[in-house]
Copies of this chain bind each other. A is one copy, B any other.
Amino acid sequence: MSNMNSTLVFRPLYEQIKSVLTDSLIAGEWKPGESIPSEMDLAARYGVSQGTVRKAIDALAKENIVVRRQGKGTFVSTHKEQNSKLRFLRLTSADGSKELLENELLECNRIKVNAEIAKLTGLKIGTAIIEIKRLLTFSQRPVILDYIIVQAKSFKGLNATKIKENNGSLYSMYETLYGVPMVRAEEKLSAVMATKQQAELLNIEPGFPLLSIERVAYTYGDKPMEWRLGLCVTDEQHYMNSLE
């Protein structure tokens, strides 16, 4: 009979508060763009000190889940704001600007997962998904060929019309129309050769080197919601990254 061997799980109060706050966000108690209650209010609600609430909110702010604004309050992050648009886009031209990207929707189909897509996404074969193909253009020149997959059940009724209505701002649309804010993403990069078909769309020669960016985007609670393969022409644009 061993009693002292039990694994005592110690979890700091502020982490527990952070979890509770995340749950409330998932439940939609506070929507993107809205403010959450003040630190004092939350402290009173959960019966902890304001400093503990602060540490929980600090952690959420560090993950870009909320944004603090001195004198105003703490707000749920949103992709609707200008400054957070293209938050995950690391591709910039030499002069640093990336605001002038234009958007051409090529395809938007409701299909089922096949073996290849299953391997890419980890979804089960046969699952209903929506595939989106589009072309991003920078000052008249095509630079990114995007292939995007989301689960149909999470984005019911998503179609070409809706994408166009939102000017191709997918993350903003996921958030506004479907209540699914993307908070984090992981990317896997490699260099590939353009196929004939890709080359045609990107207006380059077949065999031209392309930067391949596989991205998985996550919503609250580390739930993967979107898979994306971007093929980028990088002779004038570059992928910038900070290692710290």
List residues of chain A with CB under 8 Å of any chain B CB.
63-64, 87-88, 90, 183-193, 207-212, 215, 232, 234-235, 237-244
Whether A207 contacts B207 in the complex (CB less than 8 A), given A189-B234, A241-B189, comes out as yes
Contacts A189-B241, A191-B212, A193-B208 known; 16 new A-B pairs at CB < 8 A = A64-B244, A88-B243, A90-B243, A184-B244, A186-B240, A186-B243, A187-B240, A187-B242, A187-B243, A189-B211, A190-B211, A190-B238, A191-B192, A191-B209, A191-B210, A191-B211
Interface of A: prevailing SS: strand
Whether the Cβ atoms of A241 and B191 lie closer than 8 Å is: no
Kindly state the separation between the CA atoms of A210 and B239 in the bound complex, as whole angstroms: 14
Contacts of A64 in B (CB 8 A): 244
Whether the Cβ atoms of A193 and B209 lie closer than 8 Å is: yes
Counting every copy of the chain, the complex holds 2
Whether the Cβ atoms of B243 and A189 lie closer than 8 Å is: no
Whether the Cβ atoms of A191 and B188 lie closer than 8 Å is: no
Contacts of A88 in B (CB 8 A): 243
B185, B187, B237, B243: the one contacting A184 at CB < 8 Å is B243
Kindly state the separation between the CA atoms of A188 and B183 in the bound complex, as whole angstroms: 24
Nearest Cβ on chain B to A70's Cβ, whole angstroms: 12
Would you list the 7 A-B pairs with minimal beta carbon distance, nearest first? A190-B234, A191-B209, A209-B209, A191-B191, A189-B239, A185-B243, A191-B211
Nearest Cβ on chain B to A56's Cβ, whole angstroms: 15
Contacts of A211 in B (CB 8 A): 189-191, 211
Kindly state the separation between the CA atoms of A189 and B189 in the bound complex, as whole angstroms: 9
- By CB atoms of chain B within 10 A, which of A87, A184, A191, A193 has the most? A191
Nearest Cβ on chain B to A115's Cβ, whole angstroms: 18
Kindly state the separation between the CA atoms of A232 and B212 in the bound complex, as whole angstroms: 13
